[in-house]
Amino acid sequence: MLRLEKNPEELIGRNIWDEFPDLVGSKAYEEYHRAVTEQMPVNSELFYPPLACYFDIRAFPSQDGLSVYLQDVTERKRAEDSLRERARTAMLGADVGLALTQGATIRDMLSRCAEGIVQHLDAAFARVWTLNAEENVLELQASAGMYTHTNGPHGRVPVGQFKIGLIAEERKPHLTNAVVGDERVGDQEWAKREGMIAFAGYPLIVDDRLVGVIG
């Protein structure tokens, strides 16, 4: 049930923008004014952060003012988001399956996997390293998205160094939604310049044996 943390008696006869100032300038604010200005009904959806809820908004102008009907559609939106996420994951799984069966070489297979991650997960870029066990070094085999080269500083990463090497050493994923400020991201200027927000890196383990890192 929707709770505005105000009783109806507190709202009757009051200016809605005074009572809910955080709505000023929002989509609801614009739609309400459009309905009155154009004298036509409007219908839109709004996410309201203070309540962490989605609302279906229907506004109907009249000579006396504006009638507004709100419906909490949060559960529906969450179900839709969950369905989209499952569909994206399924498509990625299908692409990875094709890559592993149709790729001519390991590098070709991993390149297709990286491309699938960028395409289906909206990643800025994706890279795959394999472990050179003799030298204890991760070697970059595939890179897709905004960076496609496999040479340079990230071409060979010693296990235990930098964020990728630490993922391999610890055999644990590293996830962050704050790349800028993350102590494991060494080049903070690059992160700021490119607008990097989130990072996800995972160790690749087969039969309890580390074979690489994806991130």
The answer to whether 214 and 202 have CB atoms below 8 angstroms apart is yes
Q: Are 196 and 205 in contact (CB under 8 A)?
A: no
* Per-domain boundaries in the chain: 8-72, 103-214
Contact (CB, 8 A) for 197 and 179 = yes
**Which CATH number among 3.30.450.40, 3.40.50.300, 2.70.98.10, 3.30.420.40 corresponds to the domain 103-214?**
3.30.450.40
Alpha-carbon span 195 to 189, nearest angstrom: 10
**pTM to 2 decimal places:** 0.64
The Cα 164–Cα 186 span in angstroms is 11
Q: Which two tokens stand for residue 168?
A: 């391999």
Closest CA to 113 of 131, 101, 95: 95
Residues contacting 129, CB < 8 A, separation 6+: 138, 139, 140, 141, 157, 164, 168, 212, 213, 214
Per-residue pLDDT of the chain in tens (215 residues, 90 and over written 9): 444 566 777 777 777 788 788 888 888 889 888 988 999 999 988 888 888 889 998 999 988 888 888 889 999 989 988 888 888 788 878 877 887 788 778 898 999 999 998 988 888 999 999 999 999 999 999 999 988 888 888 899 999 999 999 999 999 999 999 888 888 887 888 888 888 889 999 999 999 999 999 99
